[in-house]
Structure 1
């Protein structure tokens, strides 16, 4: 399992992914699940992946190979992010068609999902989620983010905080809290975390950060978020209907 999230804001795009993969409790490893394709001044494309590792790696490698071999329609030649998402979907279908039947014979799940976003030339920045079947949807004003993988634990903080108007610095902080919440509740998601940030119309990546166990900022965020939650919880009033009930003596002794 994994956890990936991408935000589409008025100020730019934020991408984040964990690095943990596991095929059982004693087969845990780390693999990077973020790939960046950048030609400064022309296009910035970031891909996040979850699902069967061989399927996702092969699909992205095929996408890259088609561009390297100079096919007429490739990641470096198309003129919209829609076309890029379509290319990735086609590569995913091709890999699943080739390998899926053999994986199924051994009861191996060939499912895979991608988040892909960025900007091509003068087109506005865009964000898509590509499903296992190769079809995709685009983020909009009402839903300015996508998650894939182990999504449920990190979703509440994003729903409460993120709007299109959220500044990039606040968005990065929110994403890290989302990851911290997920890792506390699910051992299949873990450090390192890869983060990339893209400013509106920059046509270059503003920064990439690789967050490990020793990262002081992430440790501070994790600790202060945990302490803050405990403090807020302690400050909440008890239920009014329990005011007159002695909760320590509500059951008679045996």
Structure 2
């Protein structure tokens, strides 16, 4: 399973993903699910993946090959004119990759090779954009009503982000909120696991402001995790007791 979050702020974009792809008793695997490309001073784009690993790796590999070739403006993320065009291109590539795998493995394979993606970035002279791309290749864009997207195991961390998100919040607060969301998901589901990849992109800055891998031994993460648990217990203790004898 997977947990990835892409969040849009007035200050820029914050992206975080886990790395676990398998959580069997004797076989725990990790793979990078966040990928980014940039042309300093001109554009920055990032992609996070969830779903069938073979499918997502194939999509990323094809994007890498086309970016390196730099010969076909219609198939190179680093040359496409808008973020919308990038979302269309990645969606089409995802749909074609899934169709190829379904065809190779017969009718019984239908649905086994699905994947969902988050695409985010900015091109100079244009606004920031955040897209959620479905297995069918269609996509939706983040807005004031939907300022963040999640893919994978979303149900444990979503309520935390809904309660704490503010479009005007600082990068520091956004990372803290996102980390609490991930910590709650990690505690609830073994199919989501460390380490976590974090990418912060400031508005109109076409390269990463901050990019790091957070491990389970990271002092900040351990302090935040412990502090969040203590804060929850303190909040619970501070709530009114249930009036058994008054009912």
Cα deviation for residue 105 of structure 1 reads 3.8
Q: Does 1:196 align with 2:199?
A: yes
- In 2, Cα distance between equivalents of 1:107 and 1:71: 32
Q: Give the gaps of 5 or more residues in structure 1.
A: 246-254
- In 1, Cα distance between equivalents of 2:182 and 2:23: 21
Name the Cα RMSD after superposition.
Answer: 1.5
1:19-43 deviation line (CA, Å, top 9, x unaligned): 0011744432000100010111011
- In 1, Cα distance between equivalents of 2:206 and 2:68: 20
Q: What is the aligned partner in structure 2 of residue 17 from structure 1?
A: 17
TM superposition score normalised by structure 1: 0.92
Q: What is the aligned partner in structure 2 of residue 205 from structure 1?
A: 208
CA contact (8 A) 2:102 2:109 kept: no
Superposed, which structure 2 residues align to 1:40-79 within 5 Å? 40-69=40-69, 70-73=71-74, 74-79=76-81
1:195-218 deviation line (CA, Å, top 9, x unaligned): 000111111110101001110001
Q: Does 1:178 align with 2:185?
A: no
Superposed, which structure 2 residues align to 1:116-131 within 5 Å? 116-131=119-134
CA contact (8 A) 1:60 1:91 kept: no
- In 2, Cα distance between equivalents of 1:100 and 1:131: 16
Q: Give the gaps of 5 or more residues in structure 2.
A: none
Residues 163-172 or 148-157, more deviating: 163-172
Q: What is the aligned partner in structure 2 of residue 114 from structure 1?
A: 117
Q: Which has the larger radius of gyration?
A: 1
Query: Which among 100, 103, 108 is matched to residue 101 of structure 1?
Result: 103
TM superposition score normalised by structure 2: 0.94
